[in-house]
């Protein structure tokens, strides 16, 4: 459990703003997300389950479960994560392999979940945090080797390629992109020269192209992305319906609960495309409000990581950078998909979209960032106390 001794001294109060903003923006997204889920899912829930609040009630339960997970994670010292890097890697890889066994649950052609009674756990949501924890530990322990030798640079890539292979088999291309990009970002921020990434970036681009052209459904998504209106009732249906939702919203939206696109026009309206429903019901201003809230959340998270780095908390800073990249990439990709800037990826909007695994992973991510800031404040408090 946490042994932090955060006292309300002038030093502590002056540096509390990041923690307050982190929790405030997270709470705003949770509340707004719950309202959106209730609005976007009512007709679907009434038609399939006879209860218009079926998904809304479950989302509230997921939020409560996420808050419990967050309370547990925020009390885990960063030193435990650093010591348990190999354990995190073992559990992450084990989960990614376990889902490919008969225990895995297949939905819409993808085997990404392990059923646990009231909730289906999406293993990639758990694995991405554990892999980032392992990567942060590796970067801190082997920083000199990582920066100065090709061997040190390629060692973590072997682990990432193995994880990516297991994710692609599921298939979960979106999670693969997010985890690989976040890990590469951590390595770059550790001080590795950009020139070392050039051949790797070229290799990843070739691999991405091969993955797209060898799977018909991925190729259809790319074609639909390039010109969704060419086949708007088949391959481009989801994107065109999302764009219609944005168009109907205009400046201030049609009002909460008045969306037309959620009436069986836009698939996955309460999960992957909840941002489009927000745009329809709250308009451009509402969309910008959500975007602005995420921008503040990511900005604060980067501040937390940077301040931890300045305070000499190498592992905490690296871990916070990795978690921030995960949140930022997933939020950006989801909103970009909704607006047609990227092909469909199947990624949820953190803290907003419907889903238990995503919600608990998002709350755990916020808790890790909060823990980093709390330990930094505690360290600062002790330093100031020593000077006094």
Question: How do residues 185-206 score in pLDDT, each as one tens digit?
Answer: 998 888 888 778 888 778 778 8
The answer on pLDDT for 174 being more than 50 is yes
In whole angstroms, give the CA distance from residue 133 to residue 125: 13
The pLDDT assigned to 168 comes to 85
Q: CA end-to-end span of the chain, whole Å?
A: 28
Helix 356-387 and helix 123-141, axial crossing angle in degrees, nearest 10: 30
- Over residues 242-258, the pLDDT tens digits come to 899 999 989 998 998 88
In whole angstroms, give the CA distance from residue 262 to residue 277: 7
In whole angstroms, give the CA distance from residue 361 to residue 357: 6
The pLDDT assigned to 1 comes to 40
Span 272-283, average pLDDT:
93
The answer on pLDDT for 261 being more than 60 is yes
**Would you say 88 and 131 are in contact if contact means Cβ atoms under 8 Å apart?**
yes
């Amino acid at each position: 459990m946490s042994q932090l001794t955060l006292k309300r001294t002038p030093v502590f109060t002056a540096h509390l703003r990041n923690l307050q903003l982190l929790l405030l923006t997270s709470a705003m997204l949770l509340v707004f997300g719950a309202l959106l889920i209730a609005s976007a899912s009512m007709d679907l829930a009434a038609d399939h389950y006879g209860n218009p609040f079926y998904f809304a009630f479950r989302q509230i339960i997921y939020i409560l479960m996420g808050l419990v997970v967050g309370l547990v994670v925020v009390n885990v010292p960063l030193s435990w994560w650093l010591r348990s890097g190999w354990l995190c890697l073992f559990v992450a890889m084990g989960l990614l392999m376990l889902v490919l066994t008969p225990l895995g649950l297949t939905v819409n052609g993808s085997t990404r979940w392990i059923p646990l009674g009231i909730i289906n756990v999406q293993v990639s949501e758990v694995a991405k945090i554990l892999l980032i924890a392992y990567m942060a530990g590796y970067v801190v322990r082997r920083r000199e080797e990582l920066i100065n030798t090709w061997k040190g640079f390629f060692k973590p890539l072997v682990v990432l390629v193995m994880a990516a292979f297991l994710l692609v088999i599921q298939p979960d291309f979106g999670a693969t992109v997010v985890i690989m990009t976040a890990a590469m970002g951590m390595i770059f921020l550790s001080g590795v020269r950009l020139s070392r990434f050039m051949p790797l970036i070229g290799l990843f681009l070739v691999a991405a192209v091969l993955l797209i052209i060898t799977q018909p459904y991925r190729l259809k998504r790319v074609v639909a992305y390039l010109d969704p209106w060419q086949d708007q009732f088949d391959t481009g249906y989801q994107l065109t319906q999302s764009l219609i939702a944005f168009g109907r919203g205009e400046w201030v939206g049609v009002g909460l609960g008045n969306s037309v696109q959620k009436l069986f026009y836009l698939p996955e309206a309460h999960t992957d495309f909840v941002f489009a429903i927000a745009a329809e019901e709250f308009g451009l201003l509402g969309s910008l409000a959500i975007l602005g809230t995420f921008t503040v959340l990511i900005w604060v998270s980067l501040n937390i990581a940077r301040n931890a780095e300045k305070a000499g908390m190498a592992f905490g800073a690296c871990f916070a950078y990795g978690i921030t990249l995960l949140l930022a990439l997933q939020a950006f990709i989801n909103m970009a998909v909704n607006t047609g800037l990227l092909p469909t990826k199947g990624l949820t909007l953190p803290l907003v979209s419907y889903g238990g695994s995503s919600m608990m992973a998002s709350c755990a991510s916020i808790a890790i960032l909060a823990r980093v800031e709390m330990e930094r404040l505690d360290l600062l408090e002790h330093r100031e106390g020593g000077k006094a």
